[in-house]
Amino acid sequence: MCGIVGAVAQRNVQNILLEGLRRLEYRGYDSAGMAVLASAGLQRCRALGKVAALEQRLVAEPLPGHCGIAHTRWATHGKPSEANAHPHASGDRLAVVHNGIIENHEVLRHELQDAGYVFVSQTDTEVVAHLLEREYRLGDGLLASVQRVLKRLEGAYALAVVHADEPDVIVGARKGSPLVVGVGIDEAFLGSDPLALLQVTDRFIYLQEGDVVRLSEGGHVEVVDEAGRPAAREIQTFEHADGAASKGDYRHFMQKEIFEQPSVIAAALEGRLGDKSVLVESFGPGAEALFARVRQIHIVACGTSYHAGMVARYWLERYAGIPAQVEGASEYRYRTVVVPEGTLFVTLSQSGETADTLAALRFAREQGYLGSLAICNVPGSSLVRESDLTLMTQAGPEIGVASTKAFTTQLTGLMLLTLALGRIKGLSSDLQAELVAGLRGLPRLVSQVLKLDGEIETLSMAFAEKNHALFLGRGVHFPIALEGALKLKEISYIHAEAYPAGELKHGPLALVDSEMPVISVAPNDELLDKLKSNLQEVRARGGELFVFADEAVGLEEEEGMRVLRLPHVHDALAPILYTIPLQLLSYHVAVLKGTDVDQPRNLAKSVTVE
């Protein structure tokens, strides 16, 4: 998704902006651009494609200056092109960058065209530039102009604006799209994500919905709220080390993030486990009282986070005895929802800024839920700020678009939730102690599974020439099969589907032949025998099987069936462990196919538009 960087400093900001854009590359984008206020006035440079293409242009024609804004664009209105790339200008003195969507842009475009403005792009953003140009003529400055324009805009946005008449000022605004202020020493910065600014500061102001901010020379930061009142906003120190934003010795961020899982799962557990039970207060001060009143749970999330929610449904019903319902946020927010008394609303999100999940939370607030809990990876994100209770997943920044460590730490957090609720709802202390011990041993088991990397790399060769793949799982492992299929399609562009293994003979079996690899996870649980029969159904139709199985299940390799053995793990925790080989498989297939592993085509890391 789009990214914003801005800087007002006492030094040349070109390279700060460029580095900020590089750090936002992981979000997915198709063009990049920059506008700087230089002695010669407003100067702009834009390029289709990667930030490196913009950089090349800047080598030829640098944009030195002390104040500027920059952007990576992920096309929504108008194809990826230089003309549609941000910053957009009106005249030769004003430029704007924008994340989000201006929903009433067509009406505004007609109004502005009637007033004589000529549009040179197909974007919704250009209306903002022209509206601002018109308001600025009233002569009361950039901040007041932005405030008036915002009243005309419908939709979601984060904006940053510069005007050559105020050469040391940036005005930013947020509504529905994240925007942070980076606080430096006599310098100030803007970013749609703190990661963009970690090279210059680790101190941030997380703007609130409706806030408008004016950054000016000397590091002055002035925030006004939606009603136009001056607002004091706390400065927070960013917790993660900047090293998280570099690949280190790994070839890709995704690979690094897969291998970080033992340590981030340990971090997700740290301070949250007692001797033999989960510390309920890990969910916040009011958690114990609120959890005692929970009778049902509604979980809402998107993509990989949605798959984590599907796993949690099995856990919550089995171990805490609480009925749970899971739904994709984009569907949930647009239907009539019946909320039984005592229902807890749970959102799951890596970024905490996914537009549909955030809108679902805001919608849920009006529906009479008992309260809301966000399980999230990004401190200070909108979801975290707007939920009653939060559990941070502690995965550290996840840069690869394909979610890996965010998923397994979400699952870890969801098992903590299951045990916290189970403890209150009467789960036996023996089983609590058994699962707590299992959680403690999980990082070690994940490390063991990561040692299968070489074997999985070899296995991946069987997929490089394939166009389709089928993933099978049963019970709590059906969502793991879904997640495996999502990973494979996201980064290798191989069409992949997942089915509960028992559904195979109700239709998908028709697809099985020697060209259809079938991947299955086979932990040693109560559904193992059923799964083995399903695998035989595949073998009998000539399907090529790849099975990740518990070392004790006695599945032997035979022609057409490769078996990779995983260490034994407690049933309940198997979904976390069996995710790892599927991540590695997708990763190696994508590397073999030569795709852009960390920034797969058409996708964005944080989906901040609907």
Task: Closer to ligand AGP by CB, 133 or 356: give it.
Answer: 356
Applying CB under 6 A, among 99, 147, 192, 305 the residue interacting with ligand AGP is: 305
> Which residues lie across from 156 on neighbouring strands?
101
Residue type, 375: I
Give yes or no for a contact between 507 and 500, defined as CB atoms under 8 angstroms apart. no
The least distance separating ligand AGP from the CB of residue 516, rounded to whole angstroms, comes to: 23
Question: How many residues sit close enough to ligand AGP to count as binding (CB under 6 A)?
Answer: 15
Task: Closer to ligand AGP by CB, 43 or 599: give it.
Answer: 599
> Which residues lie across from 500 on neighbouring strands?
473
The least distance separating ligand AGP from the CB of residue 373, rounded to whole angstroms, comes to: 15
d(CA 297, CA 472): 27
> What residues between 182 and 211 interact with ligand AGP by CB under 6 A?
none
Task: Closer to ligand AGP by CB, 590 or 607: give it.
Answer: 607
d(CA 294, CA 345): 10
Of 356, 364, 355, 361, which is closest to residue 374 (Cα–Cα)? 361
As given in the structure block, the two tokens for residue 482 are 């879904």
Task: Closer to ligand AGP by CB, 43 or 357: give it.
Answer: 357
The least distance separating ligand AGP from the CB of residue 458, rounded to whole angstroms, comes to: 24
> What residues between 589 and 608 interact with ligand AGP by CB under 6 A?
606-607
Contact call for residue 121 and ligand AGP (CB under 6 A): no
Applying CB under 6 A, among 72, 99, 282, 350 the residue interacting with ligand AGP is: 350
d(CA 306, CA 488): 17
The least distance separating ligand AGP from the CB of residue 585, rounded to whole angstroms, comes to: 14
Give yes or no for a contact between 583 and 304, defined as CB atoms under 8 angstroms apart. no
Contact call for residue 351 and ligand AGP (CB under 6 A): yes
Rg (CA), the chain: 25
The least distance separating ligand AGP from the CB of residue 327, rounded to whole angstroms, comes to: 14
Stretch of 49-57, 95-103, 105-113, 351-359 lying at the interface with ligand AGP (CB under 6 A): 351-359
Stretch of 44-52, 149-157, 344-352, 436-444 lying at the interface with ligand AGP (CB under 6 A): 344-352
Helix (H, G, I), strand (E, B) or coil at 219: coil
Give yes or no for a contact between 57 and 47, defined as CB atoms under 8 angstroms apart. yes
Applying CB under 6 A, among 84, 201, 255, 354 the residue interacting with ligand AGP is: 354
Of 338, 315, 346, 525, which is closest to residue 425 (Cα–Cα)? 315
Of 397, 395, 438, 444, which is closest to residue 416 (Cα–Cα)? 438
Q: Residue 53: count other Cβ atoms within 10 Å of its Cβ.
A: 15
CB neighbour burial string for 430-444, b if at least 16 within 10 angstroms, e if fewer: eebeebbebbeebbe
Q: Is 425 a catalytic residue?
A: no
Task: Closer to ligand AGP by CB, 4 or 597: give it.
Answer: 597
The least distance separating ligand AGP from the CB of residue 495, rounded to whole angstroms, comes to: 16
Within 347-426, residue ranges assigned H as helices are 355-364, 382-386, 405-425
Stretch of 23-31, 206-214, 260-268, 345-353 lying at the interface with ligand AGP (CB under 6 A): 345-353
Q: Is 2 a catalytic residue?
A: yes
> What residues between 382 and 411 interact with ligand AGP by CB under 6 A?
401-403
Applying CB under 6 A, among 261, 304, 390, 418 the residue interacting with ligand AGP is: 304
Applying CB under 6 A, among 302, 337, 355, 609 the residue interacting with ligand AGP is: 302
As given in the structure block, the two tokens for residue 578 are 């069996």
> What residues between 34 and 63 interact with ligand AGP by CB under 6 A?
none
d(CA 280, CA 372): 15
Contact call for residue 265 and ligand AGP (CB under 6 A): no
On the 0-12 / 13-18 / 19+ scale of CB atoms within 10 A, 39 is exposed
Sheet with 203-206, strands from edge to edge, namely 41-48, 31-38, 67-73, 3-8, 188-191, 180-183, 203-206, 236-237
The least distance separating ligand AGP from the CB of residue 590, rounded to whole angstroms, comes to: 12
Stretch of 79-87, 346-354, 457-465, 469-477 lying at the interface with ligand AGP (CB under 6 A): 346-354
d(CA 206, CA 216): 18
The active-site residue out of 50, 256, 405, 605 is 605
Applying CB under 6 A, among 20, 191, 303, 575 the residue interacting with ligand AGP is: 303
Applying CB under 6 A, among 99, 343, 357, 520 the residue interacting with ligand AGP is: 357
The least distance separating ligand AGP from the CB of residue 491, rounded to whole angstroms, comes to: 8
The active-site residue out of 2, 45, 67, 302 is 2
Residue with tokens 């678009």: 401
The least distance separating ligand AGP from the CB of residue 584, rounded to whole angstroms, comes to: 15
Applying CB under 6 A, among 147, 192, 349, 520 the residue interacting with ligand AGP is: 349
Helix (H, G, I), strand (E, B) or coil at 588: helix
| Residue 305, CA distances (Å) to 221, 255, 265, 393 in order | 35, 19, 16, 12
The least distance separating ligand AGP from the CB of residue 576, rounded to whole angstroms, comes to: 16
Applying CB under 6 A, among 490, 544, 550, 598 the residue interacting with ligand AGP is: 490
Q: Which residues bind ligand AGP (CB under 6 A)?
A: 302-305, 349-351, 354, 357, 401-403, 490, 606-607
Catalytic positions, written as ranges: 2, 605
